[in-house]
A and B are shown apart, each in its own frame.
Chain A
Amino acid sequence: MIKVNALTKDFPLSRQQRKELNTEDKIARAVDNISFECHPGKVFSLLGPNGAGKTTTLRMLSTIFTPTSGTIEIAGIDAVKYPQEARKKIGFLTGSTGLYARLTPVELIDYFASLYGVPKNELESRKKYLFDLLNMHDFLGKRIGKLSTGMKQKVSICRTMIHDPEVVVFDEPTSGLDVITAENIIKLIRDCKDQNKTVIFSSHIMSEVDLLCDDLAIIHKGKIKHEGTMLDFRTTMQESNLTAEFIRIVQS
């Protein structure tokens, strides 16, 4: 479960940035007083154009950024007050995630498992389960730098799920991937849903959202412009297709 209430994030602007943005403001508000809830066993999509505040929101949920104001609850833990505790419950995957190229997949997974404090007896069975599921056995001993994009994506997924998180955060997870590789992510999101995990993912691709999500929020310029179920969105839309409706809401 994720509960977000009146979440706001300001970034200080340097003199150079003020000049570039042609503004006198000393801060830039990336996220402006947003609230939403994501439920276990459901996929929540944060939809918005580039620069809407999706990544900042997800970074606050993952406790990489501290909110300027507002509250975040992750699996019953106040993530603002107890970020380290909240992180134990989160699996985080972004499309731009890099991996340590000089490590092998096994070394990388062991490393992250140690950081998440996965007990050794659980680790072996967890690794076996994920390696089997993702069909990773052929390249476990190779350096990550020498793997293909698809193989790397599997390593990323394995890294995200090694501690069996209750909440999974995906920040534009399919960006830059071909359809075959992106399919691994789509499958992962569905698996998470089946396992009753709380899933939130950001995207700017309406078709992807349509394919996966149960609930959605459309965010633009840091504010939520629409929130509800995907079913409601489909039934109440004023335009002929989902993308056109998304554009209409953003521009309204």
Chain B
Amino acid sequence: MIFNIFKKELIDTLRDRRTLMMMLVIPILIFPITLNVFVSISASFQEEAAVKTLKVGIVGDKNSYFAQQLNEIPSEMGAKKLVFFKDSASLMTELKKDSIQLGIITEKQFNQTLEAQLPARVTWYFDATEIGINERAEQYMKIIEVKAQQKRYDELEVDFRKVTPFQTSYQNIASDKKMVGQIAGGFLPYIFIAFGFIGCMYPAIDLFTGEKERGTIETLLTTPVARWQILFGKMMVVVLSGLMAASAALLGLFISIEFLDIVDNQEIMKIVHEVLSPLFIVSMFSLLFPLTIFFAGVMIPIAVYAKTFKEAQSIITPLNIVMVLPAMVGFFPGIELNLMTACIPVVNVVLATKELISGTLEFGYLALSFGVMVILALASVFVSYKQFGKETNVVS
């Protein structure tokens, strides 16, 4: 009997354009479209930056210290043109007008201070909202400074090695897989949770509040089917819709990575393929399955209680933030799955998935996270059952 209800509700849901849009079309298309736009824009910016001639303003003439130093920097580091000003005020005016992108102002006695082998003050001016300018200034200054430093060592007849006590290097022993897991591992469960929630939302409202609003629930309740069977049949569709929306989003993301050349590094691509193994997908789904039941179990009592589609939507939509916000924990480095985090719903799923990608997941914590989510899912199903059993809720 549950299967009959499930089958009918699934057909009904799949024929609803609004639900279909939220469940399949948007999740599949959102990543290919947004990432494509992002990649195109960023590529065009990079192209523009590569050919753009940077205008650097200097107070003085072509014989000034920075003019000479900058002229010696090869143009392979980016095209540049020097513009000379008589005073700092006119330089600043032009910089604000964006007719120059970088401005160099030195202290009045700059050359004398330099010759006296003291630190000479120099200030680089730029607009930080323009991408890449800051980095270019730092690169130029680093080259000029190293050269000036070497000159001083020579003048002082100091061996560079004698003033360099250490030869330090920092080695990262984390595997590439772990690194990818830590940096990008939070993204995958976040997508799943966000789209899983949205995927559950419309069918939950449509199958419960919608049925009340359209006046079909009364007829259904007069059939010789137990209310819990009706609830379960409908709930299965809500859960399936959530899982389908989340899977569609992941599929969209996979298509984007695979065909849009977002990841240049072949090593990372290899790791991505390794991560998206059947075992990983099964493990992730087994973690996310109780979470989706939990989502459905939270939404259904609201949908049962609400009298109109609008009312249900106005209550469930803000709930989205409460449910999905903890999923952002995956973006922060250093937060690990432990005894405490394994007991926090949503957070535990995100961290467990993240560690699953990194290959650092401990079975005990995984079992605890799974147990917590199963208990919550059962509790939410029970609340749904109680709410659906209330005759004043079901029949308006």
Q: Which residues of A contact B (CB under 8 A)?
A: 11-12, 59, 62-66, 84-85, 87-88, 90, 92, 94, 96-103, 107, 111-112, 114-117, 159
Which of B15, B16, B223, B395: most chain A Cβ within 10 A?
B223
List, in ascending order, chain A residues with CB within 8 A of B225's CB. 84, 115
Interface residues of B in 1-47 (CB under 8 A from A): 1, 4-5, 8, 11-12, 15-16
Of the residues B4, B16, B224, contact of A111 by C-beta under 8 Å: B4
B residues near A159, Cβ cutoff 8 Å: 219
Residue from the list A66, A84, A103 in contact with B12, Cβ < 8 A: A103
Smallest Cβ distance from A5 to chain B, in angstroms?
21
Contact A90 B12 (CB under 8 A): no
Which residues of B have CB within 8 Å of A103?
Answer: 8, 11-12, 15
**B216 within 8 Å of A by Cβ?**
yes
Contact A102 B12 (CB under 8 A): yes
Count chain B CB atoms within 10 A of each CB in A84, A112, A115 and give the residue with the most.
A115
Residue B391 contacts which of A65, A84, A112 (CB distance < 8 angstroms)? A65
B224 in contact with A88 (CB, 8 Å): yes
Look across to chain A and name the residue whose beta carbon is closest to the beta carbon of B219. A97
Nearest chain A CB to B350 CB, angstrom units: 36
Question: B214 to chain A: closest CB distance in Å?
Answer: 4
Residues of A contacting B16 in the complex (Cβ-Cβ under 8 angstroms): 102
Check B219–A92 contact: CB distance below 8 A.
yes
Which B-chain residue is minimally distant from A87 (CB atoms)?
B224
**Interface size, chain B (Cβ < 8 Å):** 23
The interface residues of chain B lying within 8 Å CB-to-CB of A84 are 224-226
Indicate whether B215 reaches chain A with its CB closer than 8 angstroms.
Answer: yes
Show 17 A/B contacts (Cβ-Cβ < 8 Å), sorted by A. Answer: A12-B392, A64-B222, A64-B391, A66-B391, A84-B225, A88-B224, A92-B218, A97-B215, A100-B8, A100-B12, A102-B11, A102-B12, A103-B8, A103-B15, A107-B8, A116-B223, A116-B224
Neighbouring B residues of A62 by C-beta, 8 Å: 221-222
Interface residues of B (CB under 8 A from A): 1, 4-5, 8, 11-12, 15-16, 214-216, 218-226, 391-392, 395
A-side contacts of B12, CB under 8 Å: 100, 102-103
Question: Is the Cβ of B15 less than 8 Å from the Cβ of A94?
Answer: no
Residue pair A98, B216 in contact (C-beta under 8 Å): yes
Nearest-neighbour CB distance to chain A for B237, whole angstroms, equals 13
Indicate whether A114 sits within 8 Å of B4 (C-beta atoms), given known contacts A64-B221, A98-B216, A100-B216.
yes
Which residue of A is nearest B230, CB measured?
Answer: A115
Beta-carbon contact of B392 and A117 below 8 Å: no
Give Cα A252 to B5, complex, Å: 48
Give 13 new A-B contacts, CB below 8 A, not counting A64-B222, A97-B215. Answer: A84-B225, A90-B222, A94-B218, A98-B219, A99-B216, A100-B12, A100-B216, A102-B12, A103-B11, A103-B12, A107-B8, A112-B223, A115-B223
| A103-B12, A115-B1 known; A63 vs B214 contact (CB < 8 Å) | no
